[in-house]
């Protein structure tokens, strides 16, 4: 559960390109494995910033690229012993996201998309990474129409 807020957004008149600078906050509850011991309710608060580029609906297509830096705080939200063995006070994560969408029939309320997410640990002790590929269909809920 989290929030992304555009702090600064730049676009020029009818140009389909938009640049964003964002602030991020994310609260997570997850299973965490430390030294072969599973802890089922590890919590963290991640704070960070990022930037993004959006190229919207050029010939029924859109392209979105986002790059984020977040720092996950586990120590202040958990009381179990193994959390004190973490090498860092805040766990640094670098996140990339690239998405290509196709809007059928020039309808901005629905799209078929392909998305690639990468999460990389920025700390010194390990070069761990997680990759996620998504393919799907997205649409708007409710009676509000998106204007072109």
Report the first-to-last Cα separation within the chain, whole angstroms: 30
**What is the rounded CA–CA span in Å between residue 148 and residue 146?**
7
pLDDT recorded at residue 95? 94
DSSP string, 88-123: -SSEEEEEEEEEEEE-GGG-TTEEEEEEEEEEEE-S
CB contact at 8 A, 71 and 94 = no
Please tell me whether residue 135 adopts helix, strand or coil conformation.
strand
pLDDT recorded at residue 117? 96
Least confident of 23-37, 73-87, 116-130: 73-87
pLDDT recorded at residue 65? 97
Please tell me whether residue 86 adopts helix, strand or coil conformation.
coil
Phi, psi of 76 (to 5 degrees): -80, -10
Average of pLDDT values for 7-13?
Answer: 90
pLDDT, the chain, mean: 85
pLDDT recorded at residue 25? 96
pLDDT recorded at residue 81? 67
pLDDT tens-place string over residues 34-89: 677 766 678 889 999 999 999 987 678 999 999 999 998 888 877 766 666 666 77
**What is the rounded CA–CA span in Å between residue 91 and residue 129?**
13
Closest CA to 138 of 95, 102, 105: 102
- Could you tell me how far CA 95 lies from the centroid of its own chain? 7
Higher per-residue pLDDT: 145 or 142: 142
**What is the rounded CA–CA span in Å between residue 75 and residue 96?**
25
Tokens of 23: 């602030």
């Amino acid at each position: 559960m989290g929030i992304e807020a555009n702090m600064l957004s730049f676009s020029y008149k009818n140009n389909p390109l938009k640049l964003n600078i964002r602030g991020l906050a994310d609260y997570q509850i997850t299973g965490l494995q430390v030294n072969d011991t599973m802890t089922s309710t590890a919590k963290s608060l991640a704070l960070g910033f990022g930037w993004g580029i959006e190229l919207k609906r050029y010939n029924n297509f859109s392209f979105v690229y986002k790059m984020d830096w977040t720092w996950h705080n586990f120590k202040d939200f958990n009381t179990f012993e193994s959390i004190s063995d973490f090498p860092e006070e805040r766990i640094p994560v670098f996140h990339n996201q690239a998405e290509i969408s196709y809007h059928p029939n020039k309808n901005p309320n629905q799209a078929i998309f392909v998305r690639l997410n990468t999460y990389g640990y920025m700390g010194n002790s390990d070069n761990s990474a997680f990759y996620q590929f998504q393919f799907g269909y997205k649409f708007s809920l409710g009676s509000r129409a998106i204007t072109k």
